[in-house]
Amino acid sequence: MPSVLDPARRVHSRFSVVLKELSAFGVVGAACFVLDIGLFQLLYAHLSVGAVTAKLVTTLVSMTVAFFAHRHWSFAHRARTGVRREYSLFALINGTTLLLGLAVVAVVRYPLGQDSALVLQIANVVSIVLCSALRYFSYKQWVFPAQTAPAGGAAPVEDGDARIVA
């Protein structure tokens, strides 16, 4: 017979997993942001690589580092569906959210006619928050899905039952 504490334990376990995912997601995002900025400075200012080429390289490098960090840390407890599939979806989601972020800033700048640095920076921050939330839920839903039931018919592993890798 299940105890009264079982539902509380499940809620606590699920909350712990979500908190671990969100914390790791934030740390990876911050580290990759610093990587992107630092690598851009190195390529553009010190190695004389063109600005657009430097940004392309830094985006690909930081996105790849983010993918592997999320795969092996943020979402390590979730199902593995193959690096090629996961990375392709990861890149598609990042490309889509990049376009969404650009659209938010562009709408504020052009149709709304705002050219204040403060207003545009607020739009930028809003786009970052919106796109980060969208990326988190998209990664969780499609790139690194929840564990499914094994072929033998055993019960699936739920988020709250998964191992937590710190």
The DSSP letter of residue 143 is I
Query: In the predicted model, is pLDDT for residue 164 greater than 70?
Result: no
Distance CA 66, CA 69 (A): 5
Residue 105, Cβ density class (10 Å: 0-12 exposed, 13-18 middle, ≥19 buried): middle
pLDDT at position 152: 58
pLDDT surpasses 90 at 107: yes
Q: Give yes or no for residue 144 having a pLDDT over 90.
A: yes
Q: What is the pLDDT of residue 153?
A: 52
The answer on pLDDT for 122 being more than 80 is yes
Name the nearest CA neighbour of 72 among 12, 157, 128, 144. Answer: 144
Classify each residue of 3-20 as buried b or exposed e, where b means 16 or more C-beta atoms within 10 Å of its C-beta. Answer: eeeeeeeeeebeeebeeb
So where are the chain's domains?
Answer: 1-77, 79-147
What does the pLDDT read at residue 14?
A: 86
Phi/psi-derived region of residue 164, left when phi > 0, alpha when psi is between -120 and 50, beta in every other case: beta
pLDDT of residue 9: 82
User: How many residues would you count in the chain?
Assistant: 166
Coil, strand or helix at 132: helix
Would you state the pLDDT for residue 166? 40
CA distance 56 to 153: 46
Q: Cα(64)–Cα(95) distance, rounded to whole angstroms?
A: 13
Res 118 pLDDT > 90: yes
